[in-house]
Amino acid sequence: MSSQVQTDGTVEGTVEGMAADGEAGRRYRREDVARAAGVKVRNLRYYQERGLLPPPRREGRIAWYSDDHLTRLRLISDLLGRGYTVNGIGELLTAWEQGDGLSQLLGLEREMTRDWVHEEPVTMTRAELRELFGPEATAEHTRRAADLGYVRVDGDRVTYPNRRLLEATLALVRQGVPLGEILDAGDFVQIQADALADRFVGLFRRHVIGAEGLEPLSATQLDHVREAVAALRPVAGEVVAAEFARAMARRVEAEVAELLRTEQ
């Protein structure tokens, strides 16, 4: 797919590999579900052979994976990270399925991880990228953007996972802000965002889940955690947006006052 800049400065474009699947949620090609779960593509077949992962739905030669596959892959990765063996995970999944505990855990994981990020990806060629940003954009800028997670590079194709971030970057560049300084600011913002996320998650972990984690929680308590996550999601974003807006108002007001003083 290609991208195209509109007269209002927005960007048209799409990314291949993911699609809507009605009420069932998103569906993913093999490479995309592996990337989203943070696992290697070859692990998908291995997990299926070991009975840890249900087979994908096939349409012709295309294998489509669902949000449920993604959730289970993340759960498997989490258990592996805690020291469980593949055989142990298989036994654990079987026990949870027989006791209906797996559906509770998968439902909780889906609720805790979904809808935090609403991204609309845009894919373009390197030539289109150069056309968008002009001659001042260098290969080093692309490398830094990739390190920050703003772009994914696959051969001659570059994907921006978030259309809004792409358009915000273009708007700043067109106002004369150097691309390198925009990337510096992005690095700073990510550090601050990580600190904010750590604070919110820490509060939630201590006061909603508890020190012992999820294992001792009953089904009713897991439902309570799920409801709390649903309540936290919009609140966290609103608090950060409101505080940033207030800070910007104070800072711009102070800057304007300083400019007026220098003009007198």
Mark whether 101 and 142 lie in a shared domain.
no
Mark whether 30 and 147 lie in a shared domain.
no
Mark whether 105 and 128 lie in a shared domain.
no
Task: Give the separation between CA 236 and CA 201, rounded to whole angstroms.
Answer: 10
Give residue 173's pLDDT.
Answer: 92
Task: Give the separation between CA 48 and CA 248, rounded to whole angstroms.
Answer: 51
Query: Rounded mean pLDDT of 221-249?
Result: 83
Give residue 102's pLDDT.
Answer: 54
Confidence of residue 258 (pLDDT cuts 50, 70, 90): confident
CA 91, 97, 99, 103 dihedral sign is: positive
Mark whether 177 and 191 lie in a shared domain.
no
Q: Which tens digit of pLDDT belongs to each residue from 32-85?
A: 999 888 889 999 989 999 888 989 999 888 899 998 898 889 888 877 877 778
Whether pLDDT at 21 is above 60: no
Whether pLDDT at 8 is above 70: no
Helix (H, G, I), strand (E, B) or coil at 161: coil
Query: Rounded mean pLDDT of 237-245?
Result: 87
Q: Choose the final residue of a domain: 91, 113, 135.
A: 113
Residue 133 has, within 13 A of its CA and on its CB side, a CA count of: 22
Give residue 175's pLDDT.
Answer: 92
Q: What is the number of domains present in the chain?
A: 3
Give residue 75's pLDDT.
Answer: 82
Domain extent at residue 33: 18-113
Q: Which tens digit of pLDDT belongs to each residue from 148-170?
A: 989 988 888 899 988 888 999 99
Mark whether 141 and 203 lie in a shared domain.
no
Mark whether 8 and 138 lie in a shared domain.
yes
Mark whether 141 and 98 lie in a shared domain.
no
**What CATH number corresponds to the domain at position 91?**
1.10.1660.10
Q: Which tens digit of pLDDT belongs to each residue from 83-134?
A: 778 887 887 777 666 655 555 555 556 666 666 666 788 899 988 988 888 8
Mark whether 108 and 39 lie in a shared domain.
yes
Mark whether 137 and 8 lie in a shared domain.
yes
Q: Choose the final residue of a domain: 131, 154, 183.
A: 183
Mark whether 71 and 135 lie in a shared domain.
no
Q: Choose the final residue of a domain: 80, 113, 146.
A: 113
Give residue 97's pLDDT.
Answer: 64
The amino acid that residue 27 corresponds to is R
Mark whether 81 and 95 lie in a shared domain.
yes
Mark whether 175 and 215 lie in a shared domain.
no
Is the full-model pTM beyond 0.85?
no
Tokens of 219: 């089904």
